[in-house]
A = this chain, B = another copy of it.
Amino acid sequence: VPPAQQSGDTPGTGLRERRRAKVRQEIYRTAMRLFHEQGYDETTVQQIAEGAVISESTFYRYFPTKADIVMEDELDPLFVSTFRAQPAELSSLAAFRASLLSVLSTMSDEGQARQRERFALILSVPDLRAAMLDQLIGGVDLLAAEVALRTGRPATDTHVRALAGAVVGASIAVMFSTDWQHDANLATLLDAAITALPDSLNL
Q: Which residues of A contact B (CB under 8 A)?
A: 91-93, 126, 129-134, 136-137, 140, 144, 147, 150-151, 153, 156, 158-174, 176-179, 189, 192-194, 196-203
Contact between chains at B166 and A170 (CB < 8 Å): yes
Q: How many copies does the complex hold?
A: 4
Q: What are 12 A-B residue pairs whose CB atoms fall within 8 Å in the complex?
A: A144-B173, A156-B178, A158-B189, A161-B174, A163-B203, A165-B171, A166-B167, A166-B169, A166-B170, A166-B201, A168-B169, A201-B201
Given A159-B203, A169-B166, A203-B159, the answer on whether A176 and B131 have CB atoms closer than 8 Å is: no
Q: How far is the CB of A66 from chain B (nearest CB, A)?
A: 13
Contact between chains at A165 and B173 (CB < 8 Å): yes
A198 to B199, CA, bound (A): 9
List B contacts of A176 (CB < 8 A): 137, 140
- Among A126, A132, A147, A170, max chain B CB count under 10 A is at A170
List B contacts of A177 (CB < 8 A): 156, 158, 161
List B contacts of A201 (CB < 8 A): 91, 93, 163, 166, 197-198, 201
List B contacts of A192 (CB < 8 A): 158
